[in-house]
Structure 1
């Protein structure tokens, strides 16, 4: 049901096409930019206002791009890709969790990814207060900007180990390390929880092709085990956003596929530790692992 809800919301985007409304800056964003312009001596506000302005420009560019129009029409490209489940009612809250968007204040790729997230929230009618965001690399300025935008900035590095808590949830995690996806799947390793989850992130098909089978099964067992229980729809590729959304897919986990997995699949529930995993692309929670290094990206 959750997968149907998220994907139905995505389909609804292509029907609404509320471009004029999305092009208008939100009042708080516009006010922040205006306040910064009135007081050039207040450096933190000036920087924050400039970042907000650049995010708004990224949103506007994205809206008129071939990529955005193609992304909205994804469901038309792959008929039958939406699970044949009863859509959830309007009383069911759809949440969003964003991991690893990066330093959007200085990186244009990260800024475009954040702009897409904001548009996605608007078009799927997910309140920004129902969106939780985290990246261990966020600066204090970026945390302040995100707070101004109205999303919730998490204070703790969850390492992706967040439960859906029985509510349909979209996880937006572009270009993240494989361990982050593995941790997320482990935390929600049940038919009920996984069927309530949609992941927008690295192509699992791509992971399967790039990693040796023994490496995938040893270090990322939950990713390996879910490959036959998921549906995947690749993002469209356009020259303008090649570096931003490359190797990105929408993943969901239909109940009918999950129930076909063996009993042994669900019996294995060991928490990942990655102690002998080389090249681990994740920043560990230092409160849990004092020896962890933060040299690798989330």
Structure 2
């Protein structure tokens, strides 16, 4: 993907608590930096950033939104994840207000571009979308 988008891999960082030794070896070969600390998605985004977060708990989305709770930083966020509005539609409002207030407020403002579903696995990742704060 980096080659296709002309992104220098030295500027790419990745983190997942379940990376295997093979994953880490591959990232080393590709010169991709592996973040050492689990910050539970509390990363401040100083430049445009793709956050690949499919099938996460809504609290992780809350953490990335809260850490970037200002217009310029939110415009740096490109989220590949479950449709955020699905969390709003499938949870009681009182639960959302107490556990994920940023998600509750921002999800409707995000532009959502669904990714195509797989012909082989039509129910896997069927609500994965690229989401970002739109500029009107």
TM over 0.5: yes
Q: Distance in 2 between matches of 1:162 and 1:141?
A: 25
Gaps of 5+ in 1: 1-118, 257-298
- Conserved 8 A contact 1:202-1:249: yes
Gaps of 5+ in 2: none
TM-score after normalising by structure 1: 0.43
Q: Aligned pair 1:144/2:21, yes or no?
A: no
Q: Distance in 1 between matches of 2:68 and 2:62?
A: 10
Written as runs of structure 1 = structure 2, the 5 A alignment for 1:247-286 is 247-256=127-136
Corresponding residue pairs, total: 136
Structure number with higher helix proportion: 1
Q: Aligned pair 1:127/2:8, yes or no?
A: yes
Q: Distance in 1 between matches of 2:15 and 2:92?
A: 30
- Conserved 8 A contact 1:200-1:249: yes
Of the three residues 53, 65, 68, the one matched with 1:185 is: 65
Structure number with higher strand proportion: 2
Q: Distance in 1 between matches of 2:28 and 2:70?
A: 33
Q: Aligned pair 1:213/2:79, yes or no?
A: no
Q: Distance in 2 between matches of 1:206 and 1:138?
A: 27
- Moved >3 Å (runs of 4+): 241-244
| Residues 128 and 193 of structure 1, relative CA distance in 2, 3 Å threshold | same
- Conserved 8 A contact 2:118-2:124: no
- Structure-2 residue corresponding to 1:223: 103
Please tell me whether Structure 1 or Structure 2 has the larger radius of gyration of its CA atoms: 1
Root-mean-square deviation (Å) = 1.7
Q: C-alpha offsets along residues 47-97 of structure 1, whole Å, 9 cap, x if unaligned?
A: xxxxxxxxxxxxxxxxxxxxxxxxxxxxxxxxxxxxxxxxxxxxxxxxxxx
